[in-house]
Structure 1
């Protein structure tokens, strides 16, 4: 790993860790009357989920993705992009294994995976949807103009940045020859669409699948809404 990649990985990890720490400090410990958190193996749960600022992304079928559309399910959020050479396809392929294990859960409460593009310049909703569904047809995919994406990512303690390739602008003259450095962590949203936990790589797919099954079966958080959602 290059020094720049190593430094960026450290920055991303620290940003996510600080975001989680700040949320825990702000919310404080769980009250004595609060139900005990279920034991998880791969996901670090927050004592009190963090309510997210209002957001509106665009799904691959053209419908808006808001907090209301995510309610009723535990949702794993992953930040990526279709031109990603390694981390994104590897992570999505791994998570497809977890999604296959969730297939036995009724659709009304089945855990979900949401891929959010960090590259709105190249990733149209349609392109992102085709990319996501190539790994698993149930994956939700959404994007938005850059300001909305940055605000959404910050609310989840995730970061991303555009990085010119060595043969990028100024060398080859190709304006689209760039990459995106982004957080590799997974963020968990509870059935009320609040930030409820994080998982850091390397990922244990079986443990993640088991954690989501445990959370879905538990009554720690009562689903606020169940229904149909776009992709």
Structure 2
């Protein structure tokens, strides 16, 4: 009889703990939702990437650009933009991302294609001629961007992105950065991102699902 009572008490406590844990999880999710949670179910979209439940305004910055049509945050207005982050000496992720974006464009009807921009984290600032040559290697319509260290930090923060540049013991630079592709809306807001592992076909499908 005593064992039965102890078991009932144990089960009761376990149930209470389960209810409390569930409440805490729901509460945390709500708090994160108010800070913008990536969600592929928003707007009933069934996409491979992440569509933000609330779009984020971009930090106001000025760029050194390979194209005069995109020299500041304000210039993102009135057109869709797919934005990649990286640097010209990147050995793998950046060139693969730009090749992927070239394929993304080929999967989208000409009259619906976004602008493609690549923001360099080289804090030189990036030699604009070198950046232009780098863009043209992948696609002559790609736009290369560079900015100051302070503005770069602000812009990355508005995307929820990050980067780091550290000097190794050998004296070489170790550079890391967010590898997602970011979708900027015609009202200059960050609205979605596509992780590096997605294919060009998946990204183009997502883009059309969001923009149509």
Aligned counterpart for 2:152 among listed residues 149, 152, 156: 149
Q: Deviations over 1:15-62 (max 9, x none)?
A: xxxxxx98741469xxxxxxx726242221112211123121111246
Task: Return the TM-score normalized by structure 2.
Answer: 0.75
**Counterpart in 2 of 1:31?**
none
Greater radius of gyration (CA) = 2
Tell me how many residue pairs correspond in the alignment: 181
Which residue is equivalent to 1:66? 72
Q: In structure 1, list runs of 5 or more residues that go unmatched.
A: 1-20, 29-35, 169-176, 219-231
Unaligned runs of 5+ in 2: 1-29
User: CA, structure 1 residues 80+22, in 2 after alignment: closer, same or farther (shift >3 Å)?
Assistant: farther
- State the structure with bigger RCO (CA 8 A, min sep 6), 1 or 2: 1
Distance 1:24 1:186, change over 3 A: farther
Residues in 2 aligned to 1:49 and 1:82: alpha-carbon distance in whole angstroms: 29
1:190 equivalent in structure 2:
185
Moved over 6 A (4+): none
Q: What SS is found at the alignment partner of 1:147?
A: helix
Q: Distance in 2 between matches of 1:189 and 1:40?
A: 19
Kindly indicate whether the alpha-carbon contact (under 8 Å) linking 1:111 and 1:212 is maintained by their aligned counterparts in 2.
no
Deviation at 1:202, TM superposition (A): 0.8
Q: Distance in 2 between matches of 1:53 and 1:131?
A: 25
Q: What is residue 107 of structure 2 aligned with on the other side?
A: 101
C-alpha distance 64-214 of structure 1, shift in aligned 2 (>3 A): closer
Cα distance in 1 for partners of 2:32, 2:158 equals: 11
1:53 aligns with 2:56: no
Q: Are positions 1:127 and 2:130 aligned together?
A: yes
Q: 1:208 matched to which residue of 2?
A: 203
Root mean square deviation of aligned Cα: 2.7
Q: Which has the higher helix share?
A: 2
